[in-house]
Amino acid sequence: MNDTKNAGDGAGERRIDRYVLHERISLHTPTEQFDGYRQFPTELWRGHDDVLDRAVSIRLIRKDDSRLNRVLGAARAAALVDDRRLLRILDVMDVPGDNEEPARTAIVSEWAHGQHLADRLSSGGLFDPTVAVQTIAEVARTLANCARHDIGHGRLRPTALLWTEAGEIRLRGLAVDAALFGPIDPAAPDADVDGLGCLLYAMTTGRWPALSVDSSKVHTPLAPAAGRTVPMPSRVRAGMPSEIDDLVTRSVRQVARPRGSMPITSVNAFTSLAGSAEDYLSPVPGASSSSVGDRLRTAATAATTAITTTSPDSTEHDSDLPRRRVGFLRFTGRLIAFAFAVALTAGIAWFGWQQVVGEPVVEEQDVVVGDSILETGAVPFVEEFDSGLTAVLPIEAVRSYDPLGDDNDDGQPDGIDGKERNKRAELAADADGTTAWLTRKYNTPTVGDKGGVGLIVDLGSPKQLSTIDLDLVGFGTDVDIRVADQILDDPDLWTDFASVNDAGPEITLRSPRSVTGQYVLIWFTGLPVIPESTTSDSPRYQGGIRQLSIAGLDPQEIVDGQ
């Protein structure tokens, strides 16, 4: 980051180094204040880059805001994604304080002139279902590109979707908005999948599909309630294609889902289904919409017609042929068609019989003795982890991790130095299943107001992880497994390995992709209730780990062995 100064340059002009602040767009004041977790108002400005002569967006955050580290991590990650539909992060700068204003950090992004979705909906303009699906499919492809960099938007809403003056779709606030303000629906399994479905719902109905969300957050009226859920789009607006109902009900948490409908669990899956819906609603120009059977029947009819009708070059007097000749021609055509059908049926029957009783045909050059390609059976895919190579990885050390806590009562989160019951952390990795590391007792299952607490397992050096086995304390633990090569003070900056909600005592976690790292974070975001406290008016919550085991590969050992 570059050190800059905030100084006046001209009458009434505010400047941060090369950037001039023209107009304050918004001032966001946090509604929640936690002890030791301080949040302050953030400002969004429209500015101008004097060096490159272009408009920019500037977000100002106080240096002592407890969200700053998370926001900076999100900004650095978002800046790595290259997609033309994103309003990119351009710069991050320090703004020293003075007697009038505190020290702040400025996050500079692209600025685009245009109209966001909330404005278009407020003017009463609903989208054609086909256009809505095409738009959401394009946004989904952008988020799928972001997912390849292990980053999501996290706070999709109508004001995040922008149409430029050139008619292009742009997405703003990647990762940074969620780091500042959190997701729109914290209970949604995947914020981006839920957000994509909500945007599609809003574009086609003019309503936001939620029950208890403050409509000022989304700048769009809420959908009517249908009991504990929201009705599907076709119940709000007539003539809605079933493809839109299917996308919305399978992605939005609070929309009524038909029995047997499977939820969409990832942005990639949503992108694929949205693309299929887009192709169905707007097929490729010139492509035939008829089925294979229709085309075969059409071809057969044409062939018969060609035989039984006269040539287009026939003269007028040909229409006076005797009826017996016309009848003969028709009979001949039918006879030929019948003979062709019999021959085709016989050929198919003969081929099927040969497949049943015949010997398999093997080319002689394909058989190699001793190193035969036929020695092993075929497999549909190559396992990422060979069962003969994976093994239980040795654990060098275990420590507790409480970065959002404030053990020393100084009013600041403790970061990587924060620990909770650290003296008992080693009990989670010993051979005694009767001992355990336990969290503190909390009044809420969400770990008080901190958002999480957990353990860090040090593997000594980077390892390629295969599975993680946990023996937990109690029923109903929400746990995320994350990996990194260094201990980071923000759990959101670690790489996701796997996660599970309402886990029982024994569980095995496996990542869908290869993850390598030295440190494994076992992060509790939800704690089970203490059974003895359920009879009281104020139940308590506590989680823990009796035993843990990590299996995988040591890349260095494999290289040395080869």
49-89 pLDDT per residue, tens: 999 999 999 999 999 888 898 899 999 999 999 999 999 99
Burial class (CB in 10 A: 0-12, 13-18, 19+), 357: exposed
Tokens of 283: 């097929």
The yes/no answer on whether domain 391-561 falls in CATH 2.70.70.10 is no
Give the C-alpha separation, 191 to 118, whole Å. Answer: 19
Query: What pLDDT is attached to residue 133?
Result: 96
Amino acid at 108: V
Tokens of 7: 């100084």
Q: Which of 237, 232, 262 is nearest to 250 (CA)?
A: 262
Tokens of 233: 């789009």
Give the C-alpha separation, 252 to 500, whole Å. Answer: 19
Amino acid at 468: I
Give the C-alpha separation, 27 to 24, whole Å. Answer: 8
Give the C-alpha separation, 309 to 329, whole Å. Answer: 9
Listed in sequence order, the residues at least 6 apart from 354 whose beta carbon sits closer than 8 Å to its beta carbon are: none
Query: What pLDDT is attached to residue 431?
Result: 77
Query: What pLDDT is attached to residue 335?
Result: 65
Listed in sequence order, the residues at least 6 apart from 280 whose beta carbon sits closer than 8 Å to its beta carbon are: 243
Query: What pLDDT is attached to residue 297?
Result: 40
The CATH homologous superfamily to which domain 114-281 belongs is Transferase(Phosphotransferase) domain 1 (1.10.510.10)
Query: What pLDDT is attached to residue 20?
Result: 95
Q: Which of 43, 49, 18 is nearest to 30 (CA)?
A: 43
Query: What pLDDT is attached to residue 173?
Result: 94
Give the C-alpha separation, 400 to 416, whole Å. Answer: 10
Q: Which 8-state DSSP code applies to residue 421?
A: S
E strand intervals along 386-505 = 391-392, 397-401, 437-438, 453-472, 477-484, 495-503
What is the dotted CATH code of the domain comprising 2-110?
Answer: 3.30.200.20
Give the C-alpha separation, 179 to 201, whole Å. Answer: 25
Amino acid at 212: S
Q: Which 8-state DSSP code applies to residue 281?
A: H
Query: What pLDDT is attached to residue 304?
Result: 41
Query: What pLDDT is attached to residue 217?
Result: 86
What are the distances in angstroms from CA 234 to CA 64, 319, 353, 447?
A: 48, 57, 51, 40
Query: What pLDDT is attached to residue 416?
Result: 86
Query: What pLDDT is attached to residue 349?
Result: 65
Query: What pLDDT is attached to residue 328?
Result: 52
Point out the residues of the chain with pLDDT beneath 70. 1-12, 31-37, 283-335, 337-338, 340-342, 344, 347-390, 556-562
Query: What pLDDT is attached to residue 218?
Result: 92
Torsion of CA 274, 150, 413, 481, to 10 degrees: 100
Query: What pLDDT is attached to residue 310?
Result: 40
* Angle, CA of 516, 266 and 107, to the nearest 5°: 75
pTM: 0.53
Give the C-alpha separation, 403 to 180, whole Å. Answer: 17
Beta pairing class for 89-95 and 2-3: parallel
Residue 330, classed as helix, strand or coil, is helix
Listed in sequence order, the residues at least 6 apart from 175 whose beta carbon sits closer than 8 Å to its beta carbon are: 74, 75, 77, 78, 151, 152, 153, 154
Beta pairing class for 453-472 and 544-553: antiparallel
Q: Which 8-state DSSP code applies to residue 123?
A: T
**Any idea where the domains of the chain sit in the sequence?**
2-110, 114-281, 391-561
**Cβ proximity of 508 and 468 under 8 Å:** yes
Query: What pLDDT is attached to residue 216?
Result: 85
Q: Which of 192, 174, 180, 182 is nearest to 90 (CA)?
A: 174
Give the C-alpha separation, 4 to 505, whole Å. Answer: 53
Token pair 């009044």: residue: 443
Give the C-alpha separation, 305 to 33, whole Å. Answer: 81
